[in-house]
C-alpha cells in the first residue's frame, strides 16, 4: 500500500514517513502544497495525509483541486488547527477524516487503515480469503492459523491484492502501489515477488490472468480463465 504525506514541518514529515514505513506503507513526502498537489494528481496513492497550513498552496485548495480533477484517494487532514469552521472547510473540500495535532501515531495508523479498508469495501481490520488472513493492525499474515514471515515488499503486495481480492491487478498497478516514487521500479521484479508469495501462501492463491495481471482468490472456489504459472 502506498501513502503520500504533505506536511511542511520537515521533522514531522520525516517522523510520519518513518511511522508509515514501519507499518508497511511505501511512502512519498512533500513539504509544500504545490509539490503535494502535483504528486497527488499524478501518482496513484492508497491514502494521503494532508496538512492544511501549507506554503505555496494551502491544504484546502490542494484538496479541492484533487477532487475537481477526479482524484478519489482517501485523504486524512492533519493540522494543528482545531476551530470547527476549519474542520468543516476541510470536509467540504473532500476530506475523509480529520486528526488534530498533537496526536498519537497509533491513532493515525488506525485511521489510515480504516480509510483504506473502506475505500476497498472492507469493514473488518482482518482481511480473509479462505484459510489465508491478513491482520492490518499488526501487519501479520496467517495461513491455517500459522504466522507466515514476509518481507516488507511481499507484505505490501499481498496487502494490496487482499484489499482488492477477486479483481485482476496489472503489473503496472502493483508497481505503482508497492514502491515509493524514488524506488528503481522494475515490473520484472513483480514476478519474483509473486513467486515468493506463492511458495509461502500456496501457489493456487495468486492466479496469473493471461495478458492482464494477477488475481488473489480462494483456491477452493476455482477459476477457468487463469493459470498459476
Please tell me the number of Cα atoms within 13 Å of 228 on its side-chain side: 17
Domain count, the chain: 2
**Residue range 73-116, pLDDT digits in tens:** 999 998 877 677 778 889 999 999 999 888 999 999 999 999 99
**Residue range 193-210, pLDDT digits in tens:** 999 999 999 999 999 998
Could you tell me the residue range of the domain that residue 182 belongs to? 126-216
113 and 184, same structural domain?
no
Q: Could you say which of 60, 89, 120 is where a domain stops?
A: 120
Q: Could you say which of 85, 120, 155 is where a domain stops?
A: 120
Quote the DSSP letter at residue 97: E
22 and 116, same structural domain?
yes
CATH of the domain at 190: 1.10.10.10
Q: Could you say which of 74, 102, 120 is where a domain stops?
A: 120
What pLDDT is recorded for position 222? 55
Residue whose cell numbers read 476551530: 83
For the chain, the average pLDDT equals 89
What pLDDT is recorded for position 224? 46
The 10 Å Cβ neighbour count of residue 130 is 15
Q: Which triple of cell numbers denotes residue 132?
A: 489465508
68 and 50, same structural domain?
yes
132 and 116, same structural domain?
no
Going by DSSP bridges, is the β-strand pair 140-143/146-148 parallel, antiparallel, or unpaired? antiparallel
Residue 18: CB partners within 8 Å, gap ≥ 6?
none
pTM value > 0.95: no
pLDDT band at residue 141 using 50, 70 and 90 as cut-offs: very high
80 and 149, same structural domain?
no
Amino acid at each position: 500500500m502506498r501513502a503520500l504525506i504533505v506536511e511542511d514541518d520537515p521533522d514531522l514529515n520525516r517522523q510520519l514517513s518513518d511511522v508509515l514505513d514501519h507499518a508497511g506503507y511505501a511512502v512519498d513526502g512533500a513539504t509544500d502544497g504545490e509539490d503535494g498537489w502535483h504528486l497527488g494528481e499524478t501518482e496513484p496513492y492508497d491514502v494521503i495525509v494532508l496538512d492544511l497550513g501549507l506554503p505555496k498552496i494551502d491544504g484546502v485548495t490542494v484538496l479541492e483541486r484533487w477532487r475537481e480533477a477526479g482524484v478519489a484517494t482517501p485523504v486524512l487532514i492533519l493540522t494543528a488547527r482545531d476551530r470547527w469552521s476549519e474542520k468543516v472547510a476541510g470536509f467540504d473540500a473532500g476530506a475523509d477524516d480529520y486528526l488534530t495535532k498533537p496526536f498519537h501515531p497509533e491513532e493515525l495508523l488506525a485511521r489510515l487503515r480504516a480509510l483504506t479498508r473502506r475505500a476497498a469495501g472492507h469493514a473488518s481490520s482482518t482481511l480473509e480469503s479462505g484459510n489465508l488472513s491478513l491482520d492490518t493492525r499488526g501487519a501479520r499474515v496467517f495461513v491455517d492459523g500459522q504466522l507466515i514471515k514476509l518481507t516488507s515488499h511481499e507484505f505490501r503486495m499481498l496487502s494490496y491484492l487482499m484489499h482488492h481480492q477477486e479483481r485482476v491487478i496489472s503489473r503496472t498497478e502493483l508497481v505503482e502501489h508497492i514502491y515509493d516514487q524514488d524506488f528503481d521500479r522494475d515490473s520484472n521484479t513483480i514476478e519474483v515477488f509473486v513467486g515468493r508469495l506463492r511458495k509461502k501462501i500456496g501457489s493456487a492463491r495468486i492466479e496469473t490472468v493471461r495478458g492482464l495481471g494477477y488475481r488473489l482468490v480462494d483456491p477452493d472456489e476455482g477459476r477457468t480463465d487463469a493459470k498459476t504459472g
